[in-house]
Amino acid sequence: MYHPGMTSDSKPASLPTDLLATTRRRFLAVSAATGISSAIFPGALLALSTTASAQSADAVSKASDQPAWPPITPEMVQAASVIAAIKLTPEQTKMLLEGLTRERESILSIRELHLPNSVAPTAVFNPVPAGTPGPTPAPHQPVVTGPAPSIADLSVSREESLAFATIRQLGELLHKRKLTSLDLAKLYLARLKRYDPTLHFVITLTEDRALAQAAAADHELAAGKARGPLHGIPWGAKDLLAVKGYPTTWGAAGFENQTFNEDAEVVKRLDAAGAVLVAKLTMGALAQGDLWGYPPGKGKPGARTRNPWNPKQGSSGSSAGSASATAAGCVGFAIGTETLGSISSPSTRCGVTGLRPSFGLVPRTGAMALVWSMDKIGPITRSVEDCALVLNAIYGPDGVDQSVQPTPFHADFTSDIRRLRVGYIESAFKTPTLRTISDEETKGMSAEDRARLEQQNHTQFEQRTYDAQFHTRALATLRDMGVQLTPVELPKFNFSALLTILAAESAAAFDDLTTSGRDALLSGQEPYDWPNSFRTSRFIPAVDYIQAERARALAMAAMHTTFSNFDVLVTPSSGLQLVATNFCGQPAVIVPNGLRGPDAPPFVQSQDDGWPDDGGPGTPVSITFLAPLYQDAKAAALAHAYQQKTGFHLLHPKM
């Protein structure tokens, strides 16, 4: 759900905010650089009072045991105050001791509850700014689609064409009885098995369930009982969605055999729509990037899901398998999730279409929680129209996820997009400049590390310069379509300062891993990986977390003002907008925007199979359409028209 910011694997200090453009696994580097680890106090005392073995599974004593923690001393308080950046006199320090001891006892008492990931906080995030009217409830309506697609060249005997058909095309074949759902399920299951050894996008095949669902769909369709456009269409689920009878691994070692007794709400809704679940797909361990854990039968731990356009590259993440399998023609569509880039980044890398809905549009019941106030569930497909058909089946309140708003999603692909008020983030389309790396950033580095950092910086500059041509062509195309474009800028706000919220909530979601020592099982153990991030976040004071939320209220108001004059904003898919819109809740539609040519800067594979892990001739680029809160349909309408004009979504890798 969280692609650590689409950033780099290089050292934290080396990354400015605008480098949020590579892979989810690297965002913790930016997080550290922007101050997540600078705030601390009560948590610091708890850490400072541990023994050398405090990180082991026995570090936290049970209520009936002798206390495992030493008394809090003035020296500990003084050390913690330095990290918390507050000044204390000796007298003030002494006065704190009794209260801090009581606070620690309360903290340890709550730990004894071993809160499961499914228990959400009582505070529910609402992205609608104070004083602004909320969404108006409206009845559920079907998507208004365009003309029926051509199916003349599609048949089981032409697998490559059929495998990459859109949902609408597959639906036409199924409803006209030119194809059975069972044939389609078998085709996709065979392709998943064939290409998984290379692309590593499957965690668990749901073959028995799929074949039973497909047979039932064929029976209903033959009887004239069509459930809608998804009836009989095979799909894949990111493996943080619970599916009864199958493991839900969250992509992480230590969770290989985790099961749930009830399907996630999104799974239930797709079942009701007649869709056929064929696989649970890979994700970064606990939604970190494309590097996942150790599911059964998958070889060595830490396999990286691959980009079908260039299998030497990762697919990005954390919706790694969802994007890769869709791009490879191995599912009809997939479900991904995003906290900070986890739909946008893999959709860009793999050349597919992603729709990250407004926060609070789709219920997350039965899905792994990472950041309660940021997690979003959305479709990854081959076209915008397909995204709308899937979103229409899964949005709306379920009575459990209290963040879900009773807002409509009325997608109409016959509307006149020339009537839309469209802006573009002007600074994001300007020619990139080569960033100067400061002496402070390289302080303490070896000559080899400095040289590698310089090379990474230059490589990324070359790629960004090359890719800029695709962005400017997109604006020219939109103008040719009769769209009036108005330049606009995002509010002047330090959105990266809000990363404290992400750090604190994600650490709370998996606190039991940190306090028990089971975080050692996770495949990533570098400074930018979850285990270290979760431990770092123990030092964020509650006061500073709340202050960050208050700052977020200012950011939301500023973003609302910016969006109030527009129906859609056009932007490159990376950059600061990714942070701003994910924290403030606005939706995004990410669409393919062409392929890099033979003159593109070459792909350079890094030693650790990490950054730089994208780019190179023949790989996709994307463009993003943003919209105001709960105006997802407007962004979809313009993105669909752009796709119809350019046809980039029809390109697919040669498997």
- Residues recognised as catalytic: 238, 318, 342
Rounded distance, CA 335 to CA 339, Å?
14
* CB burial of residue 123 (10 Å; 0-12, 13-18, 19+): exposed
Tokens matching residue 278: 């064929």
376-381: strand order across its sheet: 202-205, 276-281, 234-238, 333-338, 376-381, 353-356, 588-595, 620-626, 568-572, 422-425, 485-488
* Residue reference for tokens 């570098």: 526
Asked if residue 281 lies in contact with residue 322, where contact means CB atoms within 8 angstroms, the answer is: yes
Asked if residue 540 lies in contact with residue 39, where contact means CB atoms within 8 angstroms, the answer is: yes
Q: What are phi and psi of 273, to 5 degrees?
A: -80, -5
Rounded distance, CA 232 to CA 316, Å?
29
List all residues 6 or more positions away from 167 whose beta carbon is below 8 Å from its beta carbon: 229, 230, 233, 332, 333, 381, 382, 383, 385, 386, 389, 390
- In the chain, % helix, strand, coil (3-state, to 5) comes to 40, 10, 50
Tokens matching residue 311: 């299998």
Determine how many CB atoms are found less than 10 A away from the CB of residue 195.
Answer: 21
Helix (H) or strand (E) holding 338: strand 333-338
Tokens matching residue 457: 């910086």
Using the Cα atoms of residue 125, residue 127, residue 132 and residue 137 in order, give the sign of their dihedral.
negative
Asked if residue 289 lies in contact with residue 252, where contact means CB atoms within 8 angstroms, the answer is: no
Q: Is 212 helix (H, G, I), strand (E, B) or coil?
A: helix
Find out whether the peptide bond into 247 is cis, omega within 30 degrees of 0. no
* CB burial of residue 404 (10 Å; 0-12, 13-18, 19+): buried
Tokens matching residue 319: 């919706």
Tokens matching residue 94: 């002494």
Rounded distance, CA 448 to CA 493, Å?
36
Rounded distance, CA 60 to CA 44, Å?
16
**Mutual orientation of helices 90-111 and 74-84 as an angle, nearest 10°?**
90
The per-type count for the chain, helices as H runs and strands as E runs, is: 19, 13
Q: What are phi and psi of 156, to 5 degrees?
A: -60, -30
Find out whether the peptide bond into 446 is cis, omega within 30 degrees of 0. no
- Which CA distances in Å does 569 have to 345, 594, 629? 18, 20, 12
CA end-to-end distance (rounded Å), the chain: 27
Torsion of CA 302, 306, 312, 318, to 10 degrees: -70
Q: Is 96 helix (H, G, I), strand (E, B) or coil?
A: helix
Asked if residue 276 lies in contact with residue 584, where contact means CB atoms within 8 angstroms, the answer is: no
